[in-house]
Chains A and B, each alone.
Chain A
């Protein structure tokens, strides 16, 4: 029997094209609904704010946006954004890098796991923002204390997910690759790392939310710059528009980072549907 003929007999080519077309259609519908929902929500906000007409409690969405635009135009906004972005960025990158390294080490070595495990779970379960005063004592009233609080908030979900991802690799795949005589490094590269990748990225996504919380909390404690400082200032001076403007920047940052990581996930894990 010819090779091609055999391919036909065993089910023939799978209708992949039709399949992706359907999926693409589904995705489009989903995106449309999400957009519709956002527009509806903002409309309700706008209408309620205009009806209540009390700028202390609710300000219209358009007013918040206008305030942000004005601050962006006159340059008031940027130093705050830059400071917060630096605190978040530095803490987040350090945490992601070291979280993955420690997670891998714990998954690779029983001994490392046994030493670190209790600490990890203990610290992960603790509301770490409570450590902020301690970080101020430790690092002083500078950016380092805030980077540190972002770091401790982000590192644990990344670390734990990396560890869990590696440990939950398919036992059959591991037996298969051992059967082909793979070395430890090869087992890691061919099976463990790709298995863990979706877990790691989910951990990083969790880290984004926690990192942004850490920035706000850190800036509430001290400093003259940063979006958290701005929000705090707005609250104390009953400037609700400014308060919401600050929150909106965080919200947009959170959503954008999440979307970026999702995009990264799609390009790094093309085998997942």
Chain B
């Protein structure tokens, strides 16, 4: 059974003149522990797909199944790593990470143990008692990731989590993410607009058309794991990035040129 399945998924926003179609006829399967990225031009509905899988947006038509169970709302089988880190400013690093456990009224001792283990996993030892405003952008995203992992979801939903980081920090975080993913054995759905990031991280890449988004191509990434950062400089890697870029180039230019098309 697929860890994540979308059947004839149609997504729409409520517009002034009826529903505004964002995603059409999306059908796909993601296997357990697979790392799948979603790429497409800005405004193509990548994040919308993620929100629907999380249960924050009800599909117009079709359905989403996680481990064979239809998604009806947010639930413990999925957790999101948000684009803006969305840490609670009034909670320490440890308390931010253990948020989902607190919401489920897990006993304090158990919460602490899980939280400290995650702090070690994401490399934040010594920062347990710090508040988010005392952390750098990269560290905040580590907390964001650890918080999602604390919920122990089957599917990890990542919404351009490294978009706001500088190029060097982003590379480190990509490497770190792969290490954590290996350690925790999660299914990952990763939204990004950085094609090289998608190629470096993923087993598969789903390329969406511009809005209303359909699946343009489902690409398997052939590079063996574990991947070092030097993979990014190999000709095969660059050729694949180029190929995917070619698929969405027209959409990207259209989105940038018209301007309106990029607006959510």
A194 near B88: Cβ-Cβ < 8 Å:
yes
B88 near A173: Cβ-Cβ < 8 Å:
yes
Q: Which residues from A are CB-within-8-Å of B121?
A: 3
Task: Say if the beta carbon of A36 comes within 8 Å of chain B.
Answer: no
Stretch binding the partner chain, chosen from A81-89, A140-148, A177-185, A259-267: A177-185
Q: Which residues from B are CB-within-8-Å of A179?
A: 54-56, 74, 79-80
The digit string for B60-103, where 1 denotes a CB below 8 A from any CB of A, is 00000000000001111001101010101111000000011011
Closest to A178 in B: B74
Closest to B102 in A: A190
Interface residues on B, range: 35 or more
B172 near A173: Cβ-Cβ < 8 Å:
no
Task: Say if the beta carbon of B135 comes within 8 Å of chain A.
Answer: yes
A180 near B169: Cβ-Cβ < 8 Å:
no
A9 near B172: Cβ-Cβ < 8 Å:
yes
Interface size counted on chain A using CB atoms at 8 A: 33
Q: Which residues from B are CB-within-8-Å of A1?
A: 175-176, 179
Task: Say if the beta carbon of B201 comes within 8 Å of chain A.
Answer: no
A10 near B74: Cβ-Cβ < 8 Å:
no
Q: How far is the CA of A271 from the CA of B73 in the complex (A)?
A: 32
Q: How far is the CA of A3 from the CA of B179 in the complex (A)?
A: 10
Q: Which residues from 1 to 44 on chain A have a C-beta closer than 8 Å to any C-beta of chain B?
A: 1-7, 9-11, 13-14, 16
Complex partner residue of A180 from B122, B136, B139, B151, CB under 8 angstroms = B151
Task: Say if the beta carbon of B123 comes within 8 Å of chain A.
Answer: yes
A180 near B172: Cβ-Cβ < 8 Å:
no
B125 near A7: Cβ-Cβ < 8 Å:
yes
Q: How far is the CA of A176 from the CA of B103 in the complex (A)?
A: 13
Task: Say if the beta carbon of B32 comes within 8 Å of chain A.
Answer: no
Q: Which residues from 146 to 194 on chain A have a C-beta closer than 8 Å to any C-beta of chain B?
A: 172-173, 175-183, 186, 190-191, 194
B88 near A11: Cβ-Cβ < 8 Å:
no
A190 near B99: Cβ-Cβ < 8 Å:
yes
Q: Which residues from B are CB-within-8-Å of A127?
A: none
Q: Which residues from A are CB-within-8-Å of B86?
A: 172-173, 175-176
CB distance from A45 to the nearest CB of B (A): 42
Q: Which residues from A are CB-within-8-Å of B173?
A: 10
Task: Say if the beta carbon of B126 comes within 8 Å of chain A.
Answer: yes
Task: Say if the beta carbon of B7 comes within 8 Å of chain A.
Answer: no
A175 near B100: Cβ-Cβ < 8 Å:
no
Task: Say if the beta carbon of A270 comes within 8 Å of chain B.
Answer: yes
CB distance from B148 to the nearest CB of A (A): 9
Task: Say if the beta carbon of A269 comes within 8 Å of chain B.
Answer: yes
Q: Which residues from B are CB-within-8-Å of A110?
A: none
B76 near A4: Cβ-Cβ < 8 Å:
no
Q: How far is the CA of A1 from the CA of B122 in the complex (A)?
A: 11
Q: Which residues from A are CB-within-8-Å of B132?
A: 271
Q: How far is the CA of A6 from the CA of B123 in the complex (A)?
A: 6
User: Given contacts A180-B103, A182-B103, A271-B131, is CB(A10)–CB(B169) below 8 Å?
Assistant: yes
B79 near A180: Cβ-Cβ < 8 Å:
yes
Q: Which of B55, B90, B125 has the most CB of A within 10 A?
A: B90
Q: Which residues from B are CB-within-8-Å of A177?
A: 99, 103
Task: Say if the beta carbon of B124 comes within 8 Å of chain A.
Answer: yes
Q: How far is the CA of A4 from the CA of B103 in the complex (A)?
A: 29
Task: Say if the beta carbon of B184 comes within 8 Å of chain A.
Answer: no
Q: Which residues from A are CB-within-8-Å of B76?
A: 181
Q: Which of A2, A13, A181, A269 has the most CB of B within 10 A?
A: A181
Q: Which residues from A are CB-within-8-Å of B75?
A: 181
Q: Which residues from A are CB-within-8-Å of B151?
A: 180
Q: List 7 A-B contacts (CB under 8 A).
A: A3-B123, A6-B172, A10-B169, A10-B176, A175-B56, A176-B82, A181-B75
Enumerate chain B interface residues (CB-CB to A < 8 A). Answer: 54-56, 73-76, 79-80, 82, 84, 86, 88-91, 99-100, 102-103, 120-127, 130-139, 142, 151, 169, 172-173, 175-176, 179
Task: Identify the 9 closest CB pairs spanning chains A and B, nearest first.
Answer: A10-B138, A6-B123, A11-B136, A3-B123, A176-B86, A7-B123, A194-B90, A271-B90, A271-B131
